[in-house]
Chain A
Amino acid sequence: MKLHLPFWLSCALALAVSCAALAARAEGVADARQNELNYLVRQDCGSCHGMTLKGGLGKPLIPATFDGVEPEAIAEVILDGISGTPMPPWRGLLSEADALWIAENLKAGTIK
């Protein structure tokens, strides 16, 4: 439930249609998978972005970094990486729903 409030807040700024689609996909992430994703973000994204997500070789993954950026755009970066930089594409290891769930929770600062 926690992730829905900030998510809907951000959705208020975006098109209702695409939000409904996002919500449907993010809701597809089961509780057990959410635990795994929290863990993966701290441990595996953390190896480049810091375990507290305050930055390392990669930028801080804190709400301020994502000011005015849609979760969908963040999810795209996670899935496709940023070529020419060490940010790797996670497609294949993370589903679109996973990436979106991570994006929303990074933006909201609710990664556990």
Chain B
Amino acid sequence: MTLLRFVAILIVWFVTPIGAVNAAELRGTGDLGVIIERADGSVCIIATTRHEKLSCVGGFGDLSHASAVFSRDERYAYIFGRDGGLTKLDLLERKIAKRILQAGNSIGGAISDDGTLVAVSNYKPGGIKVFDSESLDLVADIPAIYGSDGARSKTVGLVDAPGRRFVFTLYDAGEIWMADFSKSGNPVISKLGKTGSQPYDALITGDGRHYIAGLFGEDGLAHVDLWNAKPHTERILENYGKGEQKLPVYKMPHLEGWALAGGQFILPGVGHHELLAVDAKTFKQTGSVKVHGQPVFAVSRPDGRQVWVNFAHPLNDTIQVVDIPTLKIIHEFKPGPAALHMEFAPRGHEVWLSVRDSNEVQIYDTRTFEKRATISIRKPSGIFFSARAHRLGL
């Protein structure tokens, strides 16, 4: 054996095992996320630790107001489009695994606590549809029929609740319904009562206990305690906003992400330049914070110490950060026009921010407020990290 051959064998012997493992393809999905490219109907897959854009995948249809939930194994994202599209995206293969058009016009969805059911909220035809998360085969069609003439209501604020249940709100009917899939066979649908006029969105707290719907048509909020033996709708904060002149609302606030921060709910004042702090036990208002404009999203950092707020048109170039213990604004900056969405890293050390009109996503340190990185994304809107797979109501 020549020396050369010996060296060659040595090289093969060393290299082969490494090659067989195929290190380049091995990747955990817990670090991944998706960003909606609203205008192109595409979705970009990102690696969050390294601030890296991995790949953008097209073919998702109309993604205005799109949102996403994740499979329990964090391999798949389910993307809910405006056009009724429900698309299952494979984050590892970076391609669409399955896509269906399940309605004419939809608004978000949810995945059941056991990860087996994906539900979609539809404006047209109004109601929710529930699919098998693996095959996307239809499991249940729940039309939101109300009144005596068989009219169908748009549904909003669809969330998952513990025990294979979904809770949602009928915008036109002003009612909250629950669909319970805990037993085999048909789901049990129960009506949890009247909300008041024009409930436009809702949230569920991270413990799965409180479901709260915001009202557009009148003052107050609608609340259901899901820990109650007979969950039912009650009005809270009845007096909020009474007697004050409301400002026009150019963008409906979103309630998801408002949730609990330090024992209080931080809620939007609809038509006000204000956030309200509400005691999470008594539902009495404990304070308020004057802010820059009408809040659209106010998302609490996962530890609940800060809430980051963005605003409706035409003040949507600004972000404010509220310190929860003192209810003071501790930071304000202008990332650029149309700063639309925020997503925190799972433990809150960073926040990712879509700045639509400058075609970029900016990443900030939440302690120093320094900008850490910028990623170019075309007309970015929603940002969703796979860690949502393990959180209730997201």
Q: What is the bound-complex CA distance between A92 and B94, given in angstroms?
A: 45
Q: Taking the nearest CB of chain B, how far is it from the CB of A52, in angstroms?
A: 5
Looking across the interface, which residue of chain A has its beta carbon closest to that of B316? A44
Q: Taking the nearest CB of chain B, how far is it from the CB of A101, in angstroms?
A: 18
Q: Taking the nearest CB of chain B, how far is it from the CB of A98, in angstroms?
A: 13
Q: Is the CB of A56 within 8 A of B107?
A: yes
Dominant secondary structure of chain B at its interface with chain A: loop
Q: Which residues of A contact B (CB under 8 A)?
A: 43-44, 46-48, 50-52, 54-57, 81, 84-86, 88-90, 93
Q: Does B192 contact A (CB under 8 A)?
A: no
Q: Does B285 contact A (CB under 8 A)?
A: no
Q: Does B272 contact A (CB under 8 A)?
A: no
Q: Does B356 contact A (CB under 8 A)?
A: yes
Looking across the interface, which residue of chain B has its beta carbon closest to that of A47? B251
Name the interface residues of B281-311: CB closer than 8 Å to any CB of A: none
Q: Taking the nearest CB of chain B, how far is it from the CB of A16, in angstroms?
A: 35
Instruction: Kindly supply a per-residue 1/0 record for chain B positions 121-146, scoring 1 wherever the CB is within 8 Å of any chain A CB and 0 otherwise.
Output: 00110000000000000000000000
Q: Is the CB of B105 within 8 A of A56?
A: yes
Q: What is the bound-complex CA distance between A26 and B61, given in angstroms?
A: 33
User: In the complex, what residues of B have CB within 8 A of residue A52's CB?
Assistant: 62, 64, 82-83
In this complex, which of A50, A54, A57, A88 has the most chain B Cβ atoms within 10 angstroms of its Cβ?
A57
Q: Is the CB of B38 within 8 A of A51?
A: yes
Instruction: Kindly supply a per-residue 1/0 record for chain B positions 74-107, scoring 1 wherever the CB is within 8 Å of any chain A CB and 0 otherwise.
Output: 0000000011000000000000000000000101
Instruction: Kindly supply a per-residue 1/0 record for chain B positions 58-80, scoring 1 wherever the CB is within 8 Å of any chain A CB and 0 otherwise.
Output: 00001011000000000000000
A57 CB contact (under 8 Å) in B83, B123, B248: B123
In this complex, which of A43, A46, A81 has the most chain B Cβ atoms within 10 angstroms of its Cβ?
A43
Q: Taking the nearest CB of chain A, how far is it from the CB of B2, in angstroms?
A: 69
Looking across the interface, which residue of chain A has its beta carbon closest to that of B313? A44
Q: A93-B313, A93-B314 are in contact. List 5 more A-B contacts (CB 8 A).
A: A43-B338, A44-B313, A51-B64, A57-B171, A86-B249
Q: What is the bound-complex CA distance between A57 and B105, given in angstroms?
A: 10
> Could you give 22 example pairs across A and B, Cβ below 8 Å?
A46-B64, A47-B64, A47-B65, A47-B251, A47-B252, A48-B251, A50-B65, A51-B38, A52-B62, A54-B62, A55-B105, A56-B64, A56-B105, A57-B154, A57-B171, A57-B252, A84-B217, A86-B200, A86-B249, A86-B252, A88-B248, A89-B248
Looking across the interface, which residue of chain B has its beta carbon closest to that of A84? B217
Say whether, besides A57-B154, A86-B200, A51 and B82 are in contact (CB < 8 Å). yes
Q: Taking the nearest CB of chain A, how far is it from the CB of B51, in angstroms?
A: 26
Q: Taking the nearest CB of chain B, how far is it from the CB of A10, in angstroms?
A: 27
User: In the complex, what residues of A have CB within 8 A of residue B38's CB?
Assistant: 51
User: In the complex, what residues of A have CB within 8 A of residue B249's CB?
Assistant: 86, 88
Q: Is the CB of B123 within 8 A of A55?
A: yes
Q: Is the CB of B124 within 8 A of A55?
A: yes
Q: What is the bound-complex CA distance between A90 and B38, given in angstroms?
A: 24
User: In the complex, what residues of A have CB within 8 A of residue B216's CB?
Assistant: 86
Q: Taking the nearest CB of chain A, how far is it from the CB of B1, in angstroms?
A: 69
User: In the complex, what residues of B have CB within 8 A of residue A55's CB?
Assistant: 105, 123-124
Looking across the interface, which residue of chain B has its beta carbon closest to that of A60? B105
Say whether, besides A44-B313, A47-B64, A51-B82, A56 and B123 are in contact (CB < 8 Å). yes
